[in-house]
Amino acid sequence: MRPELDAIDRAVALLQSGELVAFPTETVYGLGADAANPAAVARIFTAKGRPADHPLIVHLPADSYLERWARDIPAVAWELAEAFWPGPLTLILKRAAAVPGAVTGGQDSVGLRVPAHPLALDLLRAYARAGGGLAGMCGVAAPSANRFGRISPTEAAHVRDELGDAVKLILDGGRCPVGIESTILDLTRGSVMPPRLLRPGRITREQIATVIGVLPEIADRQPGDRTPRVSGSLAAHYAPSTPLRLVPPGRLAEVIARLGQAGHRCAVLCHSQLPDQDASPELRRLPGDPRGYASGLYAALRELDQAATDLIVVEEIPATPAWAAVADRLRRAACGAGRGTDLPG
Ligand code: TXA
Ligand code: MG
């Protein structure tokens, strides 16, 4: 599903003139603006309702553009770019002098990635050919195209639901295959300290270790610490409006039955076969492997949220490294969901 070339041309023209364009990446849809243009970047924060000190990821057409955006680039960054770009890995590097503070939340670092979705690459390359925005920097800043704190969009229709007319053009590339946001790796700590994983994603710590020979540390944020801010690291993030509770597989049927008896309408998200499906009309089953599950997770949560039940019951997933990124998103969804409502059951 590729829109005609003139959609790309229109998108490039909008970016060049400081407007917003939503586009698909392999992870989730992004809300893009010229990353070198502070006024354009400000529009992103307004459209999302996001605090202005949260840094954005800058999307590049190829790793050959890295030096425009980063300085003191360590060898491991090039090795990781070679191994995983285009792809769902964001590298946090020291920012180059030309990078505006608007895009980094005023920090001395910048998040960079080359996305793998063919439409995203078409857009970024066409943008570069057309001059690449202010100062010819060729970077498109793009957070996930949702309102702040909400579920990231994995289809063009989700973007329209989230942002309405605030975005002039949405490039429709169908469903995002990865389905959860990129892995974020902080490489700003120098060569003595191991890199730090700020957000788990499709590219796992173990995969990173096979390239750089050391397992990234998992960021353990303390209040007031000076690690770079990651809005995806807030406890409550990626959240539906309906309260959400994780339940161990063995207790799922019993919990659903009990909630039903107590008069609560609940929706169910599972990955194994349930003994009695009639108990819950609003049921989505996702694949039992972490990649398949991640790919369908946000669309399923969105649908179940719209069913307007009292509670979304989610079957717990295995506690293994392969499921780390999915577990992270479910934990945050459970924490942020249905704030202000009483949790039944
Ligand atoms: O998969 C993705 O990464 C998607 C697609 C559109 O590329 N983008 C995305 O963007 O998830 P966003 O803004 O929703 O999440 C990016 C995260 C934020 O939590 C932000 O704080 C963090 O990246 N980030 C960006 N620059 C950073 C920096 N210099 N230091 C630390 N964290 C940074
Ligand atoms: Mg986001």
The residue ranking higher by pLDDT, 199 or 237, is 199
d(CA 217, CA 208): 11
Tokens describing residue 334: 């459970």
Tokens describing residue 280: 């819950």
Task: Examine the pLDDT at 228 and tell me if it is beyond 70.
Answer: no
Task: Examine the pLDDT at 345 and tell me if it is beyond 60.
Answer: no
Crossing angle (nearest 10°) for helices 290-306 and 156-163: 40
- Ligand 1 atom with minimal separation from the 31 CA: 6
Pocket test for ligand 1, best of 107, 155, 184, 225 (most atoms within 8 A of CB): 184
Q: 157 alpha carbon to ligand 2 midpoint, in Å?
A: 17
- CA-wise closest residue to 132 among 211, 214, 61: 61
Q: Give the pLDDT band (50/70/90) at residue 308.
A: confident
Task: Examine the pLDDT at 332 and tell me if it is beyond 60.
Answer: yes
d(CA 76, CA 80): 6
Q: 318 alpha carbon to ligand 1 midpoint, in Å?
A: 26
Cis peptide before 194 (omega within 30 of 0): no
Q: 179-183, 196-200, 333-337: which has the minimum mean pLDDT? A: 333-337
Task: Examine the pLDDT at 234 and tell me if it is beyond 70.
Answer: no
Task: Examine the pLDDT at 1 and tell me if it is beyond 80.
Answer: no
Task: Examine the pLDDT at 7 and tell me if it is beyond 60.
Answer: yes
Beta strand 217-218 pairing with 196-199 = parallel
Pocket test for ligand 1, best of 21, 48, 53, 57 (most atoms within 8 A of CB): 57
Averaged pLDDT for residues 280-290: 89
Tokens describing residue 109: 């670092």
- Ligand 1 atom with minimal separation from the 146 CA: 14
pTM confidence score = 0.93
Strand locations in 166-279, DSSP E?
Answer: 169-170, 183-186, 196-199, 217-218, 244-247, 266-270
Decide: 297 and 333 in contact? Cβ < 8 Å. Answer: no
Q: Give the pLDDT band (50/70/90) at residue 300.
A: very high
Task: Examine the pLDDT at 254 and tell me if it is beyond 70.
Answer: yes
Q: Give the pLDDT band (50/70/90) at residue 322.
A: very high
Q: 256 alpha carbon to ligand 1 midpoint, in Å?
A: 36
Q: 20 alpha carbon to ligand 1 midpoint, in Å?
A: 17
- CA-wise closest residue to 237 among 47, 34, 54: 54
Task: Examine the pLDDT at 164 and tell me if it is beyond 80.
Answer: yes
pLDDT score, position 273: 78
> What is the side-by-side order of every strand in the sheet holding 183-186?
169-170, 21-24, 29-34, 140-141, 57-59, 109-113, 89-94, 183-186, 196-199, 217-218
**What's the chain's length in residues?**
345
Task: Examine the pLDDT at 342 and tell me if it is beyond 70.
Answer: no
> pLDDT of 237-246, one tens digit each?
678 899 999 9
Q: 73 alpha carbon to ligand 2 midpoint, in Å?
A: 25
Q: 5 alpha carbon to ligand 1 midpoint, in Å?
A: 28
Averaged pLDDT for residues 43-53: 92
Decide: 139 and 37 in contact? Cβ < 8 Å. Answer: no
> pLDDT of 77-126, one tens digit each?
999 999 999 999 999 999 999 999 999 999 999 999 999 999 999 999 99
Q: Give the pLDDT band (50/70/90) at residue 278.
A: low
Ligand 1 binding pocket (C-beta < 6 A) is: 25, 27-28, 30, 54-57, 88, 90, 92, 104, 107, 109-111, 115, 142-144, 181-182, 184, 198, 228-232
Q: Which distant-in-sequence residues (6+ apart) come within 8 Å of 247 by Cβ?
A: 255, 313, 314, 315, 316
d(CA 230, CA 196): 12
**What 3-state DSSP class applies to 270?**
strand
Q: 51-60, 134-143, 336-345: which has the minimum mean pLDDT? A: 336-345
| Atom 12 of ligand 1: nearest residue by CA position | 143
Averaged pLDDT for residues 249-275: 89
How many CA atoms lie within 13 Å of 268's alpha carbon, on the beta-carbon side?
A: 29
* 134-150 per-residue burial string, b: 16 or more CB within 10 A, e: under 16: beebbbbbbbbbbebbb
Q: 31 alpha carbon to ligand 2 midpoint, in Å?
A: 10
Decide: 109 and 94 in contact? Cβ < 8 Å. Answer: yes
pLDDT score, position 223: 44
- Ligand 1 atom with minimal separation from the 88 CA: 1
| Atom 21 of ligand 1: nearest residue by CA position | 230
* 263-283 per-residue burial string, b: 16 or more CB within 10 A, e: under 16: eeebbbbbbeebeeeebbebb
The alpha carbon torsion through 25, 31, 36, 38 (nearest 10 deg) reads: -170
**Which ligand lies nearest to the CA atom of residue 152 in the structure?**
2
Alpha helices in the chain (DSSP H): 5-16, 38-48, 66-69, 75-84, 101-104, 118-129, 156-163, 205-212, 252-261, 290-306, 324-336
Q: Give the pLDDT band (50/70/90) at residue 226.
A: very low
